[in-house]
Structure 1
Amino acid sequence: MIGKKQLIDRFTQYVKIDTQSDPDSRDTPSTKKQWDLANKLAEELREIGMQEVEIDENAYIMATLPANIAHNVPVIGFISHFDTSPDFSGENVNPQIIEDYDGKDIILNREQNIILSPNYFEDLHQYKGQTLITTDGTTLLGADDKAGITEIVSAMEYLINNPHIPHGEIRVGFTPDEEIGRGAHKFNVDKFGAQWAYTMDGSQVGELEFENFNAAGATITIKGKSVHPGYAKGKMVNSMYIAQDFITSLPRLETPEHTENRQGFFHLTDIKGNVERTTLKYIIRDHDKDHFEARKEVLQKLALEINSQFEDEIINIEIKNQYFNMREKVEPLMHIVDIAEEAMKQVDVEPIIKPIRGGTDGSQLSYMGLPCPNIFAGGHNFHGRYEYIPVESMQKAVAVIVKIAELTAEKYKDLDYGENNKR
């Protein structure tokens, strides 16, 4: 197994580089600072001995580990993203190393009384006695998904240094802007050339996911009429009151804080307004395709109902699909999930197969022709000051990557896979 120090050193170097993405930018990458880590990663891949290392004009990185076996096997890939969430600061990340965690409260920041407590974050109980990496309470950590990058680079280095482990050709891909939903938008699936891939972008050790939300975003714009309040009777139309009616007409218990597992939701993410104009932004999520379409229809019908109460159309609604449930694309190829599940079992990781209450690059890539289940990277409490990751979970993720490569080579050893299936 790869050593803790190597993983800690590599991971902490990555997280100290600010790569926060920006949803308001139309550039790719959306922030110039993402180039800082992208260029470092490309150089590091060359240093460890990867071949065909390329970084394109949009900061997408691809590299190859050539096969070390004679028989033909499918080209497989491993993918992670290097941007961090715009939800919380990723500047001046100062990771803290907690060795031999005692199971008690962790003081992240004494001055600000910021505490990571197992009384609130119960998953911490699983990691007593392990080595944790936390924030200092003032930023996110960036384990989403610099842990995944750390694990992929480390696994490739391990395979290069241990040529007795058989594997076919492996492709590696690192992407910008996943956190703002654009990580796969300019990913060249044909150039990547893998038959399937795995994103290392899950959370708890053991997670293996091949289904995710169907997702859409909705912008509701409400027009009012501003009139002097002293003479407003019968004339003023206050867009904020209409926005309030719209919000309260949606099912109150179908929101993120009241749902779990495969339950979908409407989530109001932003509201800005005055008398003349109010804008609401929603995200719509559901694992079931029919329920997903029904949710979009609910919003449309509510807008029509409110508009019918006025002479002019005062509500405009724009809904854009963001990504779809990868299950539709992965399920016909369940052997790729089976290989990952078996790899986990062989390195003493209990597989936790469950749907993602979110999305990954893999969901979009699956619809672009690259089936792409998601595997744990090991972090918890993403996108905030309480984010942490056990180093032992990263070690397990590296072991799973290596074992997937080995099992794929073994599985196809006695099969005539054929030259036409090589990249």
Structure 2
Amino acid sequence: MQLNWFSFRQIPQVPMSSMSTASTYLEAGTTEYKQANLAMFLGGFATFSLLYGPQTLLPLFAHTFHVSPAGASLTLSAGTAALALMLIPFSLLSDRYGRSLLMKCSLFGSAFFTLLVPLVDTFSHFLVLRVLLGVAIAGLPATAMAYLGEEIAPSARGRAMGLYIAGNAFGGMSGRFIISWLTSVGGWHMAFLCSGLLGMAAAILFYRSVPDSRHFRARAVSLTMLLQDARALFADAALPKIYAVSFMLMGVFVALYNYLGFRLEASPYGLSHTQVSAIFLLYALGTVSSATAGRWVDKIGRRNVLWRMVVLMIAGLALTQFAWLPVIVAGVALFTMGFFGTHSTASGWAGERARERRALSSAVYLTAYYLGGSLLGSGAGLAWGFGQWRGVSATLLLALLAVLGCALLLKKITPLSAVVPPSR
């Protein structure tokens, strides 16, 4: 093995075991396919549970550490910001060292840093651990889509991606409730201890379940190659539009859940904070819609699924304009289902369309995804000052119409060769 430490380039060598199975994909229904799906579901669950679980405890942190609400929110944003910044570096590392190794290290590292939280007694130390969590956890989302694109049989990739996104949705929903409930029982120190233990259990099950990579081929890593790969991605007819979909998609999703609470706590609803937090139960619908969208992708293709999911989001947003609470909840449910279906479809497309650059493409997609949630998700609050819910809804509608426009343009783009199916 020849290694040049200055340029960080390696002449890749393919193990004989990989050569012998190079033509073997994980086919739907096989034991290894089921193991891969279980592992990726657990990985998605652990990632979102550990990252977003503390969201319901922000008022408690503000009181405990004597910080402002904005300061308390850093316990969430510090982790997500670190994650976003590390996605592309980790995608490059996965191109060089492999997918499964990085995902395993990511899950064990994030669980480890969560287990350290009960030992801290200052807010600054708490934030450091949350940043380290974000850094560690980035390895899985930066690599998961590339792994699925390389190892799963083309006819079953949509379903596998849908199950991975379903794990994300389930983790985001259950993580918030688990930590909130455990805090009410034994305090936030005990809640983080249990959350870390749950994350460690998920990491162990992932380690035991995930099949080794069969189609991974190490690629040399250098700044020159990174720039070349980035130019190639953005020169593609479809990928920049998919990245734009990612940015706006997460932005409108975060914004809707952020400011719906303000509406429902005000007159005439007057719901309590606990009652409003129950809206996160609708995340459960995301586990269904993402898996369903994945099956549809395998049958009719991404270009025919994507725009339909966006229309579902627009329909859900329209229902939230009514005053009757059950109709509002139904609208949020449709919106949530459409979001996870759209995300499942677009994220898989971003990796598959990029071929050998799928790890970098997935990282760019997710970077846009988290930046959209941060920028558009918060920026839509400016519209609240002008028109409250109507103002926010108008902003979200404009963004969703832009997403729909991208989806319709993607529908017209010539698909890749049948050698890299299915992107029809």
What TM-score comes out, normalization by structure 2 length? 0.25
Q: Which has the larger radius of gyration?
A: 1
The structure with the largest helix share of the pair is: 2
What TM-score comes out, normalization by structure 1 length? 0.26
The structure with the largest strand share of the pair is: 1
